[in-house]
């Protein structure tokens, strides 16, 4: 009997390495796919940059794991598509004074769309990743349900809320039932070279996390100096470019004040940063757009759900009400700090991801 072919998105990290190994142990025919998201050389000067070195290292690590497991490994060049669908959006959002989440967009637009199509072309029956999340199917509705990973500290369901039912039907998350320590234990038992590889918290296309030079090179106007305003609209200082600031930030304002000042908002029309007291950062109600309903087809009415506005946030109880097919109004039970435009709000019912979307919050809502 021919074994079922499963493609594994191998990033060069321990989670995807173990995902491939576990599937192989279960008897599947496994093939490794690694995305090439950046060119090997800088366009100017011909010198390899940090992004390229990191990308090359990931490919080499993934290839080494595949070789050790005895599975075939393929590098899929998605640089142009990644630039068009993820990097440009990231830059454009920052230029608008918003804080995007490129990992959410990459999962939806690149990994589970383009890489999944590559897997399908190879006759794979599914695409597995190293995400700490779980999938199950509702026996009544037949709908695929996305759930939190068993390891609450490593849960990555927040980054997967934008996936469609078709994408989820083709997905597998082999490490979702394991803790991170268990993943490393499996990797050690199998002698995988990535067993002790440290995790990276960086944006993959901005090694070191210093996004300001990266953004300036693409949107010079976002690095233009402008006024710092108080909540009443009075000029209280000057800034050196809106891309230096995000909501809730305290450092870098350079204003002498009897009380600490924080970034309350960014007004791109006036190229202004709005600053004020920390208490003005707290809010309860906001709108979510581009909502994707995951484990439910929608809401029948106002629902009490747990909502996360940041990936590492524990989640807070809130009333969620649909105000259109892809728009929701969210009202927290207690005020939350720095509800940030451009970030994702994800709705949960216990472990179940109900849906999520992009936070919309006009700068005026921060102003008195």
Residues labelled catalytic: 106, 204
Residue position matching structure tokens 């100017």: 44
Asked if 359 and 309 touch (Cβ cutoff 8 Å), the reply is: yes
Element (H, E) at 86: none
What is the distance between the alpha carbons of residues 142 and 83, in angstroms, rounded to a whole number?
35
Asked if 293 and 324 touch (Cβ cutoff 8 Å), the reply is: no
How many Cβ atoms sit within 10 Å of the Cβ of residue 171?
23
Asked if 102 and 86 touch (Cβ cutoff 8 Å), the reply is: yes
What is the distance between the alpha carbons of residues 265 and 365, in angstroms, rounded to a whole number?
9
What is the distance between the alpha carbons of residues 362 and 343, in angstroms, rounded to a whole number?
13
Concatenated DSSP letters of 297-365: S--SS-EEEEEESSTT---EEEEEEEEETTEEEEEEEEEEE---TTSEEEEEETTEEEEEEEEE--GGG
Interhelix angle 14-25/50-69, rounded to 10 degrees, is 20
What is the distance between the alpha carbons of residues 265 and 358, in angstroms, rounded to a whole number?
17
């Amino acid at each position: 009997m021919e074994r079922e072919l499963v493609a594994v998105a191998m990033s060069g990290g321990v989670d995807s390495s173990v995902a491939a190994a576990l599937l192989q142990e279960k008897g599947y025919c496994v093939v490794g796919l690694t995305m090439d998201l950046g060119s090997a050389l800088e366009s100017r000067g011909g010198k390899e940059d940090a992004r390229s070195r990191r990308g090359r290292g990931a490919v080499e690590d993934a290839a080494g794991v595949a070789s050790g497991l005895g599975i075939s490994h393929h590098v899929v060049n998605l640089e142009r598509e990644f630039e068009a669908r993820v990097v440009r959006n990231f830059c454009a959002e920052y230029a608008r004074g918003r804080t995007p989440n490129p990992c959410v967009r990459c999962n939806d637009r690149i990994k589970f769309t383009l890489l999944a199509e590559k897997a399908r072309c190879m006759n794979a029956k599914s695409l597995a990743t190293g995400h700490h999340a779980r999938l199950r199917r509702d026996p009544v509705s037949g709908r695929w349900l996305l759930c939190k990973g068993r390891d609450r500290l490593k849960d990555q369901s927040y980054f997967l809320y934008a996936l469609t039912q078709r994408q989820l039907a083709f997905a597998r998350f082999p490490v979702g039932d394991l803790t991170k320590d268990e993943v490393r234990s499996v990797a050690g038992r199998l002698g995988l070279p990535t067993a002790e590889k440290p995790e990276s918290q960086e944006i993959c296309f901005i090694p070191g996390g210093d996004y300001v030079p990266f953004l300036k090179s693409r949107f010079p106007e976002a690095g233009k100096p402008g006024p710092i305003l108080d909540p009443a609209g009075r000029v209280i200082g000057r800034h050196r470019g809106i891309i230096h600031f995000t909501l809730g930030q305290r450092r870098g304002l350079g204003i002498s004040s009897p009380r600490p000042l924080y970034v309350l908002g960014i007004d791109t029309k006036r190229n202004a940063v709005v600053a004020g007291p920390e208490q003005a950062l707290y809010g309860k109600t906001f709108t979510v757009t581009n909502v994707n309903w995951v484990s439910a087809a929608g809401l029948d009415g106002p629902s009490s759900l747990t909502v996360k506005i940041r990936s590492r946030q524990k989640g807070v109880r809130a009333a969620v009400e649909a105000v259109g097919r892809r728009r929701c109004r969210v009202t927290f039970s207690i005020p939350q700090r720095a509800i940030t435009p451009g970030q994702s709000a994800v709705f949960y019912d216990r472990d179940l991801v109900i849906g999520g979307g992009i936070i919309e919050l006009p700068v005026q809502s921060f102003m008195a």
